[in-house]
Amino acid sequence: MNRFKTISSISIGAIVAVFVVSVLVIGGEFYAPLKDWLKATFTHHWLGKSAISVMSFILFSLIARIFLKNESEDMAEKLLMALFKIAILGTLVLSVLFFYLFSIH
């Protein structure tokens, strides 16, 4: 088993999950029917966001695992750095969003 392929596929799944959570949080704040659907389907909107993000992580990790060739250490390193940057960016975007939302109320 190629450990760099595993690291790369998990990194891709995590990148997608960070993106999905960010989109769901922002979408839920600006589009009430999305938040209402999450509440109705999963009993609470955060449970829905969590379930969808876990499903997207697993799905995209598996898809990447199937379709990636044997990855190199360099590619795994680049994907981990991309994950780090995307996680920081998602945190900053959501922080700015919540500071904005709470400052106008």
Q: pLDDT by residue for the chain (105 residues), tens digit each?
A: 588 999 999 999 999 999 999 999 999 999 999 999 999 999 999 999 999 999 999 999 999 999 998 778 999 999 999 999 999 999 999 999 989 888 875
Q: How far apart are CA 90 and CA 99, in angstroms?
A: 14
- Supply the pTM of this predicted model: 0.89
Token output for 105: 């109320």
Q: What is the reported pLDDT for 9?
A: 96
